[in-house]
């Protein structure tokens, strides 16, 4: 009986769902490609239902939208009245083993390029080195635990636990852990030209 029921159902149209979520959040194919780590050509094929994404690709796309796989398949564009919870494993994360940092993307993808916020975790000797962002971009870093050194435009500022540093991020800048243990902070990026 269950098998008969499954045969009658058609698989969800993942392509149109991905396209709806992307456009609802004001993201371009390029934005989604960069955040999800899926090629632009593959995304285009998926959105036109010409390619079926693997579970791994679908999971990356769900993460890019700040959702779990179950939320992705159950979501509708109109259903925004409920409280959305993003669990720890579903939180998109960028990291560098070489520079010993991890950035957990806390803000919704719909605000990417306008307001972004992250949990920044720096291991011993960890650093987040950034090129200049778009003109007018600012960063606000609150150190939750530990101590960091911010270098920007030849200026160095030590930021201790509980302190917040606000600085222009449209020039190259670096945030470095000064402690032997792990340092954590809340990093808010504001794109003023958007």
Examine the pLDDT at 43 and tell me if it is beyond 60: yes
| Residue-averaged pLDDT of the chain | 82
Domain boundary among 74, 106, 122: 74
| Residue at 55 is within a domain | yes
Residue-wise pLDDT tens digits, 71-102: 776 654 444 557 777 778 777 787 777 778 88
Residues 10, 66 within the same domain: yes
- 174, pLDDT greater than 90: yes
Q: Does the reported pTM lie above 0.85?
A: no
Of 90 and 119, the structure prediction assigns the larger pLDDT to 119
At 73 the pLDDT is 65
What are the Cα distances from residue 47, in Å, to 42, 84, 112? Answer: 9, 24, 21
Specify the 3-state DSSP secondary structure of 79: coil
As a dihedral over the C-alpha atoms of residue 33, residue 34, residue 38, residue 41, rounded to 10 degrees, the angle is: 40
| Assigned domain for 33 exists | yes
């Amino acid at each position: 009986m269950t098998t008969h029921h499954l045969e009658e159902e058609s698989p969800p149209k993942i392509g149109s769902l991905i396209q709806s979520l992307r456009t609802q959040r004001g993201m371009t194919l390029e934005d989604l490609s960069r955040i999800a780590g899926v090629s632009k050509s593959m995304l285009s094929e998926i959105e036109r239902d010409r390619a079926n994404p693997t579970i791994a690709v679908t999971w990356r796309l769900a993460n890019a939208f700040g959702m779990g796989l179950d939320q992705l398949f159950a979501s509708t564009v109109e259903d925004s009245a409920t409280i959305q919870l993003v669990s720890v494993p579903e939180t998109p994360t960028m990291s560098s083993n070489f520079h010993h940092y991890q950035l957990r993307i806390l803000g919704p993808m719909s605000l990417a390029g306008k307001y972004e916020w992250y949990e920044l975790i720096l291991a011993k000797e960890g650093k987040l080195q950034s090129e200049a962002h778009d003109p007018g971009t600012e960063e606000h870093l609150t150190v939750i635990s530990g101590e960091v050194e911010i270098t920007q435009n030849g200026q160095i500022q030590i930021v201790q636990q509980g302190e917040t540093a606000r600085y222009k991020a449209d020039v190259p800048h670096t945030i470095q852990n000064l402690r032997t243990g792990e340092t954590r902070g809340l990093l808010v990026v504001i794109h003023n030209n958007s």
